[in-house]
Amino acid sequence: MTRALDRIPGSIPDPFCLLDAVRAWDREEIEAERSFRASPAWQALEAAAQACALHQRALADFTRHAFLLSIQRFPLEPARLEGRYAIAGRVLGQSGQSALYRVRLAPLSADPSALQCCLEGQIAIGLAPYGERFRQDRLEARFRERWRRLATQQASRDASQDAGQDASHGGCRLCPSLLP
């Protein structure tokens, strides 16, 4: 029996990527962003999990599978999210099978009232070697391409900010201000 995932051509973009750009990353942190339009809070949680899992894949040079393992201390408000949000994740602990992140989402807005709508908590990402269940021939190329596309999106945004088209954030690093 052929699995449904095996029928999806590799060239089709993944429609369930809730990240718009990866702003910066290093061994301990990732900074990403997402624009929401009257979106339920669970989408912010999913975007944060995607950022952390993608960070783990990049740290492993895309040679391992990464997936949401658990959510801790991440209360979801019934409110809907609107506008561009920064997603900052910092690794709190790492093993061969998992990584724990402290994550915070905050609006990228000059509106002081918007800054009150922050979400934060902890997300655990599971790590597994590729194999029969998580096929390297399908997943490695897909996530390498996703990483390339998200980093390119950020480069385009940076160029727009430099040209004065979007000065709402100013290009500063997110993690120092979002994750004490």
Residue 108 amino acid letter: L
pLDDT value of position 155: 56
Helix (H) or strand (E) holding 78: none
Q: Are 73 and 22 in contact (CB under 8 A)?
A: no
What pTM does this model have? 0.76
pLDDT-based confidence at residue 138 (cuts at 50, 70, 90)? confident
Give the phi and the psi of residue 171 in degrees, each rounded to 5.
Answer: 75, 15
176-to-30, 59, 146, 152 alpha-carbon distances in Å: 11, 20, 26, 23
pLDDT, position 64: 93
- Could you state, in order of their start, the residue ranges of all structural domains in the chain? 14-155+174-178
Q: What burial class does residue 47 get, using C-beta atoms within 10 Å of its C-beta: 0-12 exposed, 13-18 middle, 19+ buried?
A: buried
The model's pLDDT over 79-117, given as tens digits with 9 standing for 90+, comes to 778 889 999 999 999 999 999 999 999 888 765 555 456
Handedness of CA 25, 62, 125, 51 (dihedral sign): positive
**Structural element, H or E, at residue 2:** none
Tens of pLDDT, residues 29-72 = 999 999 988 888 888 899 999 999 999 999 999 999 999 999 98
Architecture of 14-155+174-178 per CATH?
Answer: Roll (3.10)
5-22 mean pLDDT = 64
